[in-house]
Amino acid sequence: MRKGEIFNLKWQDVNFDLKLIHVSDSKNSEARDIPLNDTCYETLKALREKAEEGQDYIFVNPKTGKPYDDIKRSFKTALKKAEIEDFTFHDLRHTFASHLVMNGVDLMTVKELLGHKEIKMTMRYSHLSPDHKKIAVKRIETVFRRETKVIELPL
């Protein structure tokens, strides 16, 4: 999800029975449903249990009672502790897309999950790691070895 979509996420947007998040107000003005994996589902359930009665937004600043509009300082601190340099919150979307593609998810599905109108944008987000490219080339080698038989001619 985009940062703004996350910050504006309300409890009514989460369907715990179907394990879905509904994004109605996206950047491209098109609604989409995002399936929850088990980790995200459990995390949101735990947050729901701790949420104050009548709290509409999921991510609320406890000091102000209002939804967050930015987390620059906290994100920067997390990056420093993890020893990650030259990385932004938005880079998480690129990382998500890249890992999906490297794990065999088709580009159309990635496009839908990211909420892109154009597949061209999704392709810009989906970077393959050098190791992934090496593995891909090795896979084709096994195909050639299987299909190519050495014929020995009698002397």
pLDDT tens digits, one per residue of 72-87: 999 999 999 999 999 9
CA distance 64 to 68: 9
Output the furthest CA–CA distance in the chain (Å, rounded). Answer: 89
For the chain, give the number of residues: 155
**Bigger pLDDT: 130 or 107?**
107
Convert the pLDDT of each residue in 11-42 to its tens digit: 999 999 999 999 987 777 778 899 999 999 99
Q: Which residue has the tokens 């995200």?
A: 40
CA distance 14 to 114: 17
Domain boundaries, the chain: 1-85
Residue type present at position 146: R
Q: Which residue has the tokens 């790691």?
A: 129
CA distance 22 to 10: 10
**Residue 82: its pLDDT value, please?**
97
Report the CATH superfamily, name and number, of domain 1-85.
Answer: Intergrase catalytic core (1.10.443.10)
Q: Is the pLDDT of residue 120 over 80?
A: yes
Other beta carbons within 10 Å of 114:
21
Residue 124 token pair: 């810009």
Closest alpha carbon to 18 in 5, 8, 33: 33
The answer to whether residues 14 and 26 touch, using CB atoms and an 8 Å cutoff, is: no
Q: Which of helix, strand or coil describes residue 132?
A: helix
**Bigger pLDDT: 63 or 82?**
82
What's this model's pTM, rounded to 2 decimal places?
Answer: 0.75
